[in-house]
Structure formats: structure tokens, C-alpha cells
Amino acid sequence: MKARAVGIAVVALGVLLVLTPWVIFPVCGVGRFAPGPGIAPGMHPCHGTLQAETVLGAAAIVIGFIPVLWPRKKAVLGASLGAAAVAVLAVLFPLAITGLCKVVTMPCRLGTLPALETVATLMMLAAALGLTVYRGLR
Amino acid sequence: MSISALSLVLSRDLKRRPARNLLLGLCVAAVTGMQVAAALLDAASRRGLELGLARMGADLVAVPRGLSDELTHSYMTGEAALFYMDAAVEQKIAALPFVDRTSPQVYIKSLSGASCCSAWNIFLIGFDPATDFTVRPWLTAHRETPLGPDDVLVGAAIASEPGTNIKFYGRQFRIAGTLDATGTGLDTTVFIPIRAAYLMAKESPVKAVKPLDLPESKVSAVMIKLKPKSAGGSPAYRAAYELEMRFPEISVIQPEDFMVRVQKNLAATLGTLRSASYAVWPVTALLIGLVFGMAANERRREIGLLRAMGATRGFVFRMIIGGALIVCGAGAAAGMAAAAGLTSAFSRLIALKLEVPFYWPGMGDLAAILGAACALALLTGGLAALVPAISASRMEPYEAIRRGE
């Protein structure tokens, strides 16, 4: 049961990671920040981060399903380490790898970045919880 | 019985009911988190306002009649205010006996989605380097490198390195320096020498995607420094009244206007956070009291056996109170971490949505806020568990074992 709970938490956070830059706190030019009719959509620097976070979220969903379907000790360990890696990358992509727009009042810096940091922190907590569960499992 | 025995009993007791303790901890976390968030928001907006007013440097600001709200909004959010008045008004204001100095400013907004602007929708402030108060601290500190005609200063929140170029309306500027952070909208503004701003407007029909209509006979605001009282000056409120009476075409903004606006913008949010916290607080205290009372009742036999083995009344009392304090302490720590983390991460969004300045409080203020919240959470837990702790510690060993069976 505990192994499955860890997996479900990682899956939920993976879904949140995908939804954040598209729907909840969209990056510039996406969702509620999409340009109006007749205006050509521009390519913002934060769109690289959007794609990276989508892939990372999908990876977290796949990783989380492993202990849900196969609730063993090794599956919990794998999901926890995988979730920790996703959490680190989810912050590294906007801050250092793909980057965001320059001006701090742009939607990607105002909402998306802090939201991604929050999801990454929760993902790290889920990973830590997973490792605690792993130690308790036989 | 020793402290190690007490910690052993406490740790076993807490592990025995993880779900119950988690729920209690979450309640305490919610109460503490709301209190900390409200206090941080209040302290950060006050500090931001102080820094913002210090940056503005002027005692009064004159703007076209009826547009004072637009300027305060701009200073809070960094969204450009676009209004102009006759530049001659500056000379008229400067001639008044209670006025020490004046300095004009022009406000411009960079174009959106245009290749002739490096940054879009940015609030550009044209200032006169010879008379300005707003960026004077920077100019004074960098006396050895005076500003060139196309040198600009950027707010702390604009991620551009000094020495790099930035383009507005097709005119190239060099970033000469970054101003200190204030937590206000001024952090996202770019300060351009007023001559360069007029030149940029003149060249814009040729160089820019859209021309900028800014004749040299217009200014947006006049910053006013009043003479000190000893030199024949007037108090700010009287000077503002006199200016508005003499020049019907202007409105005069005083620092108090910014404070009133910040307080008005914050009132609803702080009220909601504090009311929610005050509503949950007694429920949480009641819940802690009930849960620990029920736990003490369930554990009569265990408490009786502990007493029979030599545990004192004080040991039983400390065991119950200690459990409550641990749950409340952990809940408070989680609530404080979540509130501080979320407030810090979303500070710019909060400031923009609420139209208030936001500058993270100093270590002293932060320690006071967190300390007070933690003390309040522990006090709540301690007081709520007091009745069950006293009643459990008064049980006679034989009676407790017999009634617990």
C-alpha cells in the first residue's frame, strides 16, 4: 500500500509538472497569454523550458507508475531516485539550461518559474518519502 | 524517570498514531502559515514602500490634473503611465518661494512585439541628470563615470549586464548601471536621459516601427524638493495644497498618497488571511485538547502501569504536554516553511496582482515574525493539552489500571 502511495504521489506531481507551464501558470504566448486573433505568435526564449518540463513531467508519470503496478522494494527505490532526478532537472532547465525570458514581469518569470520550483520541491519531498518507505519495506 | 525515558515514551506514542498526529500538525501548519504569510506581506510591503519613497527622493510630485492614481499605480506595478503636460509648468513651480529644486520627468512605454525595441512594454523614465533626485544616489556614487548622452540606468529586476546595449524605438542605448532593488515597480523601469528621450522620439518616425509622439515642450511629471522649514519652507501638505490652488492644471502627489494606496490594496488580502487564521485557530486548539484528552483516556492502563513502575505525576504531565508541543512545533515549522517559501517564490506576482511594493524583510524582522508565530503555535498546543495533562497526571495507579482494563 505504501509503495503504491509513493507511486501515486509521483504520478500526480508529474501531471502537475506537465500542466503548470501549459495551463496553471502558462509560459509567455501560451494559454491565457496567447496572442490575440490576427497577431503572429512569437517564439519566446521560455518555450524551450515548456518543452523540457513537458518531457520531464511525462517521465515522472512513467516512473511513478512502476511502483503502482509492481509494488516491490526495488520499484520504490527506482521511483524515488527517478523523482529526485526529475525534481532537480525541473529547476535546472528554466534556471540554467533552456532559460526564460529576460524581463521579470513576463508571465514565465512571474508565475511559471515559482510554480515549477514549488512542484520540484514537492517532488523532492515525495522522493524523500519514497526512500523512507523503501527502508521500511522487506 | 529520566529525560531519555520520556523521549522514548514520546517517540513511541507519536509513531503509534501517525495519521492523527499528521492531521493535527496540518491544522497547526495552516494556522501558522496564514499568520506568517499575512505578517510577511505586511512587513515586505512596508519595507518596499520605504525604499521606493527613498528612491523617488522628492517631497512632492506634480502630474496633470486628475492623474495622480495613474502615477501611483505605475510606481507600484512598473506599468507605464502615459500622460503629458506643458513643460513650462516646471519653471512656474520652481519660482515659488517654498520650493528648493525641481526636476522634470517624461514617461514612455516601449513598443510591444516590435523589432525596434529590445524589451517590450517597459516603463521608460526620461530624467534630467543635472537636476534629478530619483537616480541621484547612483550618480553620486559613480561620480568618476558620468552618464553619457545615450547611457541608461536599469532597475534591479531587469536582467541585463552593465555595458551591454539595449534598443528602444530603434535608438541604441548603453546600460551604464543597475540601480539598487526597491521592491516597487521602479525595479522594472529604464531611466533614460531626457535629452536622449526627446531625440529618440524625434527619430522614431524613421527608426521605429511606430512613431513616438513626444514633443520637447511636454513633460509627464515634475519632481519637487521643498525648502526646509528653517529656510522658509512649508510642510508638504500645505505646499501641495498651495500648488494645486495656484496651478489648476496639476495634481500633486505626497508620499502619504502612496502609503494610503498600499494600505488600501493590502487591506482585503491581509483581512482575509487573518480572519481565516483566527477562525481556524480556536478549532485547532479545541481539536488538540479533544485528541489529547481522548488519547489520555485510552491510555489509562498504560499510564497506571507507568505510575506503578515509578513514573512521577510530573513525568505523566510532561509526557502529554510534550506530545502536544512536538506535534504543534512540527506543524508550525512546516507552516512557516511553506508560507515563507511560497511568499518568497511568488513575491513578484503577489506584488503585481495586489499593486503593492514587496521587499523581503530584514533578518531581524523575519526572525521576529517566525519567532512569534512559533511561540503562538507552541502556546496554543501547550494550553490546549493542559487539561488532559493535569487530569492524566492526577490518576492513581491502581484506579487507572483497573478502569483502563
* pLDDT tens digits in sequence order for chain A, 138 residues long: 788 999 999 999 999 999 999 999 999 888 877 766 666 566 788 899 999 999 999 999 999 999 999 988 999 999 999 999 999 999 999 999 998 887 777 889 999 999 999 999 999 999 999 999 898 877
A105, A111, A121: residue with CB nearest B188: A105
What pLDDT is stored for residue B81 in this prediction?
A: 86
pLDDT at position B405 is 59
Check whether B11 has a pLDDT greater than 90. no
Mean per-residue pLDDT over chain B, rounded:
86
Same-domain check for residues B120 and B269: no
Looking at the domain assignment, is residue B20 inside a domain?
Answer: yes
Nearest by Cα to B123 from B94, B87, B152: B152
Chain B residues lying within 8 Å of A35, measured CB to CB = 113
Give the domain extent around A61. Answer: 2-136
CB within 8 A of B275, min separation 6: which ones? Answer: none
For B107, the 3-state DSSP assignment is strand
Overall number of domains in chain A:
1
Q: Is residue B58 part of a domain?
A: no
Which residues lie across from B124 on neighbouring strands? B108, B190
Strand order across the beta sheet in which B99-109 lies: B165-168, B171-178, B151-154, B189-193, B123-127, B99-109, B221-226, B60-64, B250-253
Half-sphere exposure at residue A19, Cβ-oriented, CA atoms within 13 angstroms: 9
| Per-position b or e across B234-263, b if 16+ CB within 10 A of its CB | bebeebbeebeeebeebbbbbbebbeebbe
Answer with the one of B253, B271, B300 that is the final residue of a domain: B253
Using the Cβ of A102 and the Cβ atoms of chain B, whether some distance falls under 8 Å is answered with yes
Strands (E), B92-203: 99-109, 123-127, 151-154, 165-168, 171-178, 189-193
Give the ipTM of the model, two decimals please: 0.85
Residue B131 lies in a domain: yes
Residues B215 and B289 in one domain: no
Q: What is the pLDDT of residues B133-178, one digit of tens each?
A: 777 777 667 766 778 888 999 888 887 788 888 888 888 999 988 8
Q: Averaged over B5-20, what is the pLDDT?
A: 78
For chain B, state the CA radius of gyration: 31
**What is the C-alpha to C-alpha distance for residues A56 and A50, in angstroms, rounded to an integer?**
10
B97/B8 same-domain check: no
Distance of CA B10 to CAs B287, B316, B320, Å?
19, 10, 8
Residue B163 DSSP label: T
Which of B387 and A32 is assigned the larger pLDDT?
Answer: B387
Provide the number of CB pairs (under 8 Å) joining chain A to chain B: 42
B271: exposed, middle or buried (Cβ count in 10 Å: 0-12, 13-18, 19+): exposed
Q: Quick check: is B109 in a domain?
A: yes
The reported pLDDT for the residue numbered A112 is: 95
**pLDDT of the residue at B289:** 85
So what's the pLDDT on residue A19? 96
**Do B269 and B247 have their domain in common?**
no
Q: How many percent of chain B have pLDDT more than 90? A: 31
For B94-115, the pLDDT digits (tens) are 999 999 999 999 999 988 766 7
| B273-315 residue pLDDT tens | 888 888 888 888 888 888 888 877 777 788 888 888 888 888 8
The answer to whether the CB of B159 falls within 8 A of the CB of A103 is yes
Domain presence at residue B354 = yes
Q: Which of B118, B186, B348 to mutate to test the interface with A (most CBs of A within 10 A)?
A: B348
Find the mean pLDDT for residues B260-266: 84
In the listed set B214, B233, B253, which residue is the last one of a domain according to the structure?
A: B253
* Closest Cβ–Cβ partner in A42, A102, A121 for B159: A102
Examine the domain organization and report whether B242 and B333 are in the same domain. Answer: no
Residue B113: CB atoms within 10 Å: 12
Which of B160, B345, B349 shows the shortest C-beta gap to A117?
Answer: B345
Are residues B153 and B103 part of one domain?
yes
Q: Are residues B34 and B144 in the same domain?
A: no
Residue of A nearest to B113 (CA): A42
Residues in CB range of B23: below 8 A, 6 or more apart = none
The average pLDDT across B175-186 equals: 86
Question: For chain B, how many structural domains are there in total?
Answer: 2
| Judgement on whether residues B330 and B289 belong to the same structural domain of the protein | yes
Q: Does A36 touch chain B (CB under 8 A)?
A: no
> Is any Cβ of chain A less than 8 angstroms from the Cβ of B114?
no
pLDDT at B1 over 60: no
- Does B152 fall in a domain? yes
Whether residue B352 is predicted with pLDDT greater than 90 in this model: the reply is no
Range 142-171 of B in CB contact (< 8 A) with A: 157-160
pLDDT of residue A40: 59
pTM of this prediction exceeds 0.90: no
Q: Test A114 with B78 for CB contact under 8 angstroms.
A: no
Phi, psi of B184 (to 5 degrees): -105, 180
Looking at the fold, whether B214 and B232 belong to one and the same domain comes out as: yes
Residue B356 structural domain: 3-50+261-404
* pLDDT of the residue at A42: 65
Q: Are residues B84 and B227 both part of a single domain?
A: yes
